[in-house]
Amino acid sequence: MPVESLTSGLLFDERFLAHDAGVETSVQTREGSFQLDPEPHPSDVAIIKRTWQFLERSGLLGRMRHLRARPAREEELLVYHTRPYLDGLQAHAAGGPRQGDWGEIDEDTPVSAGSLEAAFCAAGGACQAVKAVMDGEVRNVYALLRPPGHHAERNRALGYCIFNNAVIAAEYARRTYGLERVMIIDWDVHHGNGTQEAFYADPGVLFVSLHQRDWYPRLSGELEQVGRGAGVGYTVNIPLPAGTGDRGYIAAFEQLVLPIGLRYRPQLILISAGQDASWLDPLARMMMTRQGFRRLSELVAGLANEVCEGRLVALQEGGYSRAYVPYCTAAIVEALLGVDLGIVDLYAGAWELERSATIFTQATRQALEEARRWHRQWWPL
């Protein structure tokens, strides 16, 4: 079937909602603590619920093929994670310690029995999304996953992530379909340290990350981190200053991401799609709008059409504004579908929204020039 005649897929499964990150109530002092009314964990399950409702009730789901997840098989997880890590997670969910010889779960990442069910389904859902695209069932997929994955390391749950969904999806594509070149574009505002680690010495996966400079994780995603051995040049970090906004991100794609992608010519593109670069996100300061996310998605879809017959899978990562993540995610989905439903921005007319769409600071220009100059050692920029 011609690519143009295929629709897009939306992968979501109710089992993702079993990962309940809980609430925060305690304030610590030097002498003790006191309690406040509950505040949801930043990775609140309500964000994904509201995003799913937004996609369904806006009519976007009705234009797409609804795909469902399956639990990842152990062998799919073990292409990256270790057997002791899987055993340690199961033991912790049953009341065991957060760390041991098997690895660790950082204090920010809640893991319960429900969390593990959701994590297995999220990793398996990422594989199902790849399968739907590679088998020609759909043109592209947005996978609304929970929990996210790009911080998870081989034996460490970190930054709200348990299994690294992007790594597992990329390896599934390579092992099942024999792909030789996969490109992962990570626009989550926090650096995808786990994904970088997985492919740091591997030229078969091009990892490109755009993230807030000097943010999270500590010392991760530096410009100079470019790979090791045969993988040198295939890790492309583009650290950006706070306040980059839509114009800065779009310039980064036009000046770096797209030229590198055209030269690499991947057979499949994955997006680690974290909508936490938005101007309303409480965990970052990057000032993107929903229209900015739409434009990035259009650019990546155009690249996919040119180099790999449109094969593109976007995997949900972060995004912590309960109000705005659904708007940004819907804009991405509209771009994948090639439609515009005329959804009015939540803060249409606000000066902050206009400023986020138009700002292009000297600091951002300098960061882009520095990135071009550095990565020109490996790519024609």
What does the alpha-carbon distance between residue 307 and residue 360 come to, in Å, rounded to a whole number?
A: 30
| Structural contact between residues 264 and 185, judged by C-beta atoms closer than 8 angstroms | no
Q: 36, exposed or middle or buried, with CB in 10 Å at 0-12, 13-18, 19+?
A: exposed
DSSP 213: T
Concatenating the DSSP letter of every residue in 28-81 gives E-SS-EEEEEEEE-SS-HHHHHHHHHHHHHTTTGGGSEEE---PPPHHHHTTTS
Question: Among residues 81, 150, 151, 191, which one is catalytic?
Answer: 151
Cβ proximity of 345 and 327 under 8 Å: yes
Q: Identify whether 66 is a catalytic site residue.
A: no
Distance between CA atoms of residues 18 and 114, nearest Å: 5
Q: By the 8 A CB rule, do 157 and 104 touch?
A: yes
Give the burial class of 112: count Cβ atoms within 10 A of its Cβ; 0-12 exposed, 13-18 middle, 19 or more buried: middle
* Gyration radius of the chain's alpha carbons: 20
Q: How far apart are CA 234 and CA 329, in angstroms?
A: 28
**70, burial (CB in 10 Å: exposed 0-12, middle 13-18, buried 19+):** middle
User: Partners of 66 in the beta sheet?
Assistant: 10
| DSSP track, 243-274 | T-HHHHHHHHIIIIIHHHHHHH--SEEEEEE-
Nearest Cα neighbor of 163 from 207, 109, 202 is 109
Residues marked active site are found at 151
